[in-house]
Amino acid sequence: ERGGNNSFTHEALTLKYKLDNQFELVFVVGFQKILTLTYVDKLIDDVHKEFRDKYRNEFQQKGTLGLLNGTFDFKDDFMRLLRDAEESSKVRAPTVMKTFEQSLKSQKTVKCMIETRGEKPKEKVKNKKNKSSKKEGTEAVAASSKASAGDKQPSAAGEREELTKDEILQKNREEFFKRHMKAGEKSRSPKPEAQKEKGKKPRVWDLGNSNPKVLDYSNSATNGSAEACPVEEFDPDTALGDRNREPGRLYDLEYESDDEAEEEKVVQNPSKPSAKKGGLGGMFGMLKGLVGSKSLTREDMDPVLEKMKDHLIAKNVAAEIAVQLCESVAKKLEGKVMGTFTTVTSTVKQALQEALVQILQPQRRVDVLRDVMDAQRHRRPYVVTFCGVNGVGKSTNLAKISFWLIENGFSVLIAACDTFRAGAVEQLRTHTRRLNALHPPENHGGRTMVQLYEKGYGKDAAGIAMEAISYARNQGFDVVLVDTAGRMQDNAPLMTALAKLIAVNAPDLVLFVGEALVGNEAVDQLVKFNKALADHSMAQTPRLIDGIVLTKFDTIDDKVGAAISMTYITSKPIVFVGTGQTYCDLRSLNAKAVVAALMKA
């Protein structure tokens, strides 16, 4: 499964399997390895469909126990499907050898095949003609070149006769020296450049260390010991950024919008809409005139909605979601009677803003601090699992959330379950040292506020997470943050492993980490992550994504469409927003600020 292979070979047999995640069935076909059966994949697909459709009602009514106790008369159906699969592979019959009557040789006469002695085939004669013509051509060229040389020689001799002996001698000397000078230049080879030393030298970094013992972090017996994460001395300003902030507070996103000032300018002159073309800025500048006491029709809104759709797509909203948003606004406004001094553009814009704010404020709000305190009362750790694709910033934002929890007085255990990426464990170990330097044990009554639980690389991530939760329960940690390996949403074996980790450990919160730079890809990632967690889960009610961490928000200016795409497709809240590189660069989502940035022209 890890290599994406659905077959298994044992001695002389080969097995192929297919999973049915809906009813938790496994279909296996076995055959001799020496046979090259081309219809095996078709057979297992056909059997899967036929069996599932035939007993669907029985599965749904009786469940798993019904499968174990029930009897299924499927032999006749299987034999029919096997015959059909075998027949489909025989459709292409092997090519039959031609008879003599069908060959080209049978169409030739006996006379054309007789060769008389001394007579050569026509093709060879043609080739000879071509060769002779080439020879004649070369001879003619040679003769013409000789003639031209002969013409030159007497002219040169005539010139020599006109010159005196001394002049001829001087001329011959000059020609001799010229020839020798040219020969000398050719013989002189340029001096070879200094040969570069062979072999590649290792690069020496300014902050590096040449001693391998200092760089060796492979000691696995570090869990739970204070010496594993020694206090590191460094400038706290580089890690914290703003020193005037209130410790433990999660600030809202801020965004300044000029739309209100622009709208005020338009309202001051309602009688001159044509002169204010572009007053609302960009896509909202096309004023269609005042439409007092008129009910809106689809024809009135279509030009404005088209511009709004293009504007949303330009702001990184997924194209499919932008179309659906505009459709919902059109249905909401169609037939509505407008006021006297309002325009179609301003009405549609207002409706779209309300719809966007509603999307970004989902029904269930995730309050992490309240849930952690509730878990404390039950004497158990609060478990958070981070998942997402490669390179979105899971480990970095996990460290930011750790810092925020520590400032609120909670102890944190980080479980290093990314056992695949090189340097993943060392990255978390560095963050742990930094966090312990910012919050040393002496400031918290001798208690180490953050520790790392790791078992090295190449281990089962679900097992490490289970051990870490058990360790946190025994040692009295308040929160366990589980870091997982990045994986693409199309990689079925890795998605199965993630579903197993979540199903086995049952975390309190599953956070999907996505970056704000993506557009249509955000929808694809979230849909496939949720689908994979549902398909590969063994529970009747599978555990899906509970919330979103939106990273790299400081890199996108006002192109904030990924926030809309992610919340629209899952109806899950954006719990945290990453806005920079320091531990303090963590924000909560402010829906109005995001919508203001989105609507900015």
Q: Which residues pair with 510 in a beta bridge?
A: 385
Q: Residue 20 is part of a domain; what is its CATH number?
A: 3.30.450.60
If asked whether residues 510 and 572 sit together in one domain, one would say yes
Residue 108 tokens, joined: 């030739």
In-domain check, residue 105:
no
In-domain check, residue 478:
yes
If asked whether residues 422 and 336 sit together in one domain, one would say no
Q: Which of 168-172, 307-311, 380-384, 409-413 has the lowest mean pLDDT?
A: 168-172
d(CA 158, CA 179): 24
Q: Kindly report the pTM of this predicted structure.
A: 0.57
Q: Residues 206-218: what's their mean pLDDT?
A: 57
Q: Look at the alpha carbons of 46, 47, 49, 50 in this order and tell me if their dihedral is positive or negative.
A: positive
- Find the helix or strand (DSSP H, E) in which 155 lies: helix 122-162
Q: Which of 35-44, 259-268, 345-354, 439-448 has the lowest mean pLDDT?
A: 259-268
pLDDT in tens, 135-185: 455 554 444 444 444 444 444 444 444 567 777 878 887 888 777 776 655
Q: Residues 45-51: what's their mean pLDDT?
A: 87
Q: What are phi and psi of 479, to 5 degrees?
A: -135, 140
pLDDT in tens, 270-282: 434 443 444 444 4
pLDDT at 207 over 70: no
Residue owning tokens 């002159």 = 269
Q: Could you tell me which of 69, 65, 22 has the C-alpha nearest to residue 538? A: 22
Q: What is the pLDDT of residue 216?
A: 53
pLDDT in tens, 355-367: 888 888 876 778 8
pLDDT at 302 over 80: yes
Q: For 106, what's the count of Cα atoms within 13 Å in the CB-facing half-sphere?
A: 6
d(CA 218, CA 199): 29
The three-class DSSP label of residue 550 is strand
Q: What is the pLDDT of residue 334?
A: 78
Domain that holds residue 556: 368-591
pLDDT at 124 over 60: no
pLDDT at 228 over 70: no
Q: What is the pLDDT of residue 434?
A: 92
Q: For 60, what's the count of Cα atoms within 13 Å in the CB-facing half-sphere?
A: 6
Q: For 180, what's the count of Cα atoms within 13 Å in the CB-facing half-sphere?
A: 6
In-domain check, residue 240:
no
Higher pLDDT, 258 or 339: 339
In-domain check, residue 76:
yes
Q: Could you tell me which of 562, 568, 559, 569 has the C-alpha nearest to residue 598? A: 559
Q: Which of 119-133, 227-241, 408-422, 556-570 has the lowest mean pLDDT?
A: 119-133
If asked whether residues 412 and 536 sit together in one domain, one would say yes
- Find the helix or strand (DSSP H, E) in which 67 lies: helix 56-69
pLDDT in tens, 503-540: 889 899 999 999 888 877 878 888 888 888 888 777 77
Exposed, middle or buried by CB within 10 Å (0-12, 13-18, 19+), for 558? middle
Q: What is the pLDDT of residue 140?
A: 47
d(CA 123, CA 450): 91
In-domain check, residue 144:
no
Widest distance between CA atoms in the chain: 127
- Mark which of 90, 125, 148 sits at the end of a domain: 90
Number of domains in the chain: 3
Residue owning tokens 């056909």 = 46
Distance of CA 284 to the CA centre of its chain: 34
In-domain check, residue 168:
no
If asked whether residues 426 and 532 sit together in one domain, one would say yes
d(CA 438, CA 582): 12
Percent of the chain with pLDDT over 70: 69
Q: Residue 485 is part of a domain; what is its CATH number?
A: 3.40.50.300
Q: For 587, what's the count of Cα atoms within 13 Å in the CB-facing half-sphere?
A: 21
Asked if residue 574 lies in contact with residue 237, where contact means CB atoms within 8 angstroms, the answer is: no
Q: Which of 69-73, 143-147, 165-169, 549-553 has the lowest mean pLDDT?
A: 143-147
Asked if residue 453 lies in contact with residue 471, where contact means CB atoms within 8 angstroms, the answer is: yes
Where are the extended beta strands (E) located within 11-57? 13-20, 25-32
- Mark which of 90, 119, 152 sits at the end of a domain: 90
Q: Tell me which range, 245-249, 393-397, 490-494, 566-570, is most confidently predicted by mean pLDDT.
A: 393-397
Helices then strands, each counted (H, E), the chain: 20, 11
If asked whether residues 410 and 331 sit together in one domain, one would say no
